[in-house]
């Protein structure tokens, strides 16, 4: 329950602190007194957008703070799972700073607005004529149905196995995609390996081919040069014979001049070397043949080698061979995980069977209770002077989905002869308020709920209807703390604690104040709500009768 609410520097409020009762808290006041300011302040604690224009003094920060008493297992679990302290008295605070920035705190620890919203949802529920959560959200509608039908545990079990099934389906799809990618990679790399393997590359081959082609391309010039060298050695001048004759001539006189013996021997050596060179040139000339067909073969082979190098961004046969070896290792190691995929398929089938069984059980259990819940809502509407209203929770079969085996609709008709239609289009403002109140009454009787806050739930009703609505809310307040902002004297007469919102004006400023009324002040306030300012004796008596009704 909300034990205290503190507001400072907010719109018409300078400083304000309210201590609430654990039962039914009624807030009244004239139109424009500032009752909506309290709702706006609570809305900020629920995570609504902060407006810097709301600062009463734009040079100071605004602070809105609420203290909550009572143990909540859900709140404790949420706070601890988000590394936040859980206290005997938990405090949430919102600050709006000059300049427009805002901050949020839970038990003095800074938190994001998202965390604040989730915590506020566990602590209090603000209901107003514009509350449409039960209209547009299938999740909230199913959640409400399961609470009322007592099928929350079945829903949670279904949600758990449904999530496991979806996770398994995602894992299988991921594995299949990975397998497809692996197949594509293997096929691609296998194609490259086959191409390199078919090329039958040999270390040193490129250099040998390049050298042989270079020789073939220049063979004509080489043979011409060799012929010239042969002519020089064995031609008309016959250098070999000249050298031999010189050696013989000097040998004949070497006995007379010993120094010539050495020269003669050297010339003899030159003669032998020249003969050997002449023979070598002859052999080279004989071996060197121009072969156009071999040249074409070599050129085609080199072209293929060059094309492979360019294709793969490499510079040598050695690098191509190394690439081929790496591909060979990859292909040998690549084994598709068909066994793993088969196991995932088996697990998915098992979970699908479980989720279908769970969904069927949940759907059957909901169907058992849905008519009774619809009847209870209809009965509460009758208590609130809507005897001709009809209400139906429709569960229309659908395929397996996150909420089970059906789609849900809340159908309503206020008057005889009108067909049932979605609440959103079929209920007026006052009718919708009573519908929501009926739901909240049932939910409050069957589940742990936070503090309930109603903003002018009595809109569009008066007299006996307002009295009946007041009694329903009073009954709800025996199990939960309830805060109601109202213009109805009948509603106000049910209060455990009655607060009056007043606007006080001075020469320099206007302030909104909130004070708790004592019993006599409460009688006077209710009498004023009946007859206006300065209530007479009859209005005072009527107020007393309402309080005692």
The boundaries of every CATH 3.40.50.300 domain in the chain are 1-129+432-517
What gap in Å lies between CA 279 and CA 396, rounded to an integer? 108
pLDDT at 129: 42
State pLDDT tens for residues 242-301: 777 777 777 766 666 677 777 777 877 877 877 777 777 767 666 666 667 777 777 788
pLDDT at 104: 95
State pLDDT tens for residues 53-112: 889 999 999 999 999 998 788 889 999 999 999 999 999 999 999 988 999 999 999 999
Can you count the helices (H) and strands (E) in the chain? 19, 15
Average pLDDT over residues 452-460: 78
What gap in Å lies between CA 482 and CA 473, rounded to an integer? 8
Question: How does residue 136 score in pLDDT terms, banded at 50, 70 and 90?
Answer: low
Residue 100 near residue 49 (C-beta atoms within 8 A): no
- 384: alpha, beta or left? (left if phi > 0; alpha if psi -120 to 50): alpha
pLDDT at 231: 64
pLDDT of 453 higher than 50: yes
State pLDDT tens for residues 169-222: 988 887 777 777 777 777 788 888 888 888 888 888 888 787 777 767 666 666
More confident call, 365 vs 450: 365
pLDDT at 130: 46
pLDDT at 286: 63
pLDDT at 463: 79
pTM: 0.64
Residue tagged 């604040």 (tokens): 116
Topology of the domain comprising 1-129+432-517: Rossmann fold (3.40.50)
Residue 148 near residue 373 (C-beta atoms within 8 A): yes
Average pLDDT over residues 108-117: 94
Q: Which of 288, 283, 305, 313 is nearest to 210 (CA)?
A: 305
What gap in Å lies between CA 533 and CA 537, rounded to an integer? 13
More confident call, 312 vs 174: 312
Show the tokens assigned to 52: 């810097």
Alpha-carbon Rg for the chain, nearest whole angstrom, is 50
């Amino acid at each position: 329950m909300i034990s205290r609410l503190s507001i400072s520097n907010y719109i018409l409020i300078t400083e304000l602190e309210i201590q609430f009762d654990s039962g039914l808290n009624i807030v009244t006041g004239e139109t424009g007194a500032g009752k909506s300011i309290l709702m706006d302040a609570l809305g900020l604690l629920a995570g609504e957008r902060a407006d810097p224009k709301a600062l009463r003094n734009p040079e100071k920060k605004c602070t809105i703070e609420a203290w909550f008493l009572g143990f909540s297992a859900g709140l404790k679990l949420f706070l601890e799972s988000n590394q936040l302290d859980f206290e005997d008295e938990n405090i949430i605070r919102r600050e709006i700073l000059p300049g427009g920035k805002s901050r949020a705190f839970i038990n003095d620890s800074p938190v994001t607005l998202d965390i604040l919203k989730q915590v506020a949802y566990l602590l209090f529920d603000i209901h107003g004529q514009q509350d449409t959560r039960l209209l547009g959200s299938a999740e909230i509608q199913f959640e409400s149905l399961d609470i009322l039908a007592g099928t929350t545990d079945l829903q949670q079990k279904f949600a758990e196995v449904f999530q496991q099934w979806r996770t398994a389906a995602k894992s299988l799809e991921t594995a299949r995609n990975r397998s497809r990618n692996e197949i594509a990679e293997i096929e691609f790399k296998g194609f490259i390996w086959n191409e390199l393997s078919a090329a039958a590359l040999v270390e040193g081959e490129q250099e040998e081919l390049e050298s042989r082609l270079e020789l073939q391309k220049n063979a004509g010039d080489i043979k011409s040069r060799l012929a010239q060298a042969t002519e020089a050695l064995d031609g008309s001048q016959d250098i070999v014979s000249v050298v031999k004759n010189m050696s013989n001539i000097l040998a004949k006189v070497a006995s007379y001049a010993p120094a010539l013996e050495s020269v003669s021997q050297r010339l003899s050596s030159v003669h032998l070397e020249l003969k050997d060179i002449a023979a070598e040139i002859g052999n080279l000339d004989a071996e060197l043949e121009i072969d156009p067909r071999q040249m074409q073969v070599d050129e085609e082979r080199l072209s293929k080698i060059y094309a492979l190098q360019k294709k793969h961004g490499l510079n040598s046969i050695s690098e191509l061979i190394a690439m081929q070896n790496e591909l060979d290792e990859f292909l040998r190691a690549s084994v598709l995980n068909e066994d793993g995929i088969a196991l995932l398929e088996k697990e998915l089938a098992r979970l699908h069977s479980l989720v279908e069984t769970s969904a069927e059980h949940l759907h059957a259990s909901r169907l058992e209770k849905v008519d009774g819940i619809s009847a209870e809502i209809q009965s509460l509407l009758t208590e609130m002077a809507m005897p001709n209203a009809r209400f139906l929770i429709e569960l229309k079969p659908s395929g397996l989905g996150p909420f089970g085996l059906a789609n849900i609709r809340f159908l309503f008709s206020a008057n005889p002869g009108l067909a049932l239609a979605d609440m959103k289009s079929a209920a007026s403002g006052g009718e919708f308020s009573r519908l929501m109140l009926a739901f909240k009454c049932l939910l409050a009787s069957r589940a742990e709920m936070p503090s309930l806050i109603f903003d002018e739930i009595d809109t569009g009703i008066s007299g006996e209807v307002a009295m009946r609505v007041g009694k329903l809310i009073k009954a709800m307040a025996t199990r939960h703390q309830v805060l109601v902002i109202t213009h109805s004297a009948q509603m106000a007469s049910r209060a455990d604690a009655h607060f009056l919102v007043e606007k006080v004006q001075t020469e320099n400023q206007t302030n909104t104040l909130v004070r708790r009324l004592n019993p006599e002040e409460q009688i006077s306030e209710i009498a004023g709500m009946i007859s206006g300012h300065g209530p007479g004796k009859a209005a005072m008596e009527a107020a007393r009768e309402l309080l005692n009704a």
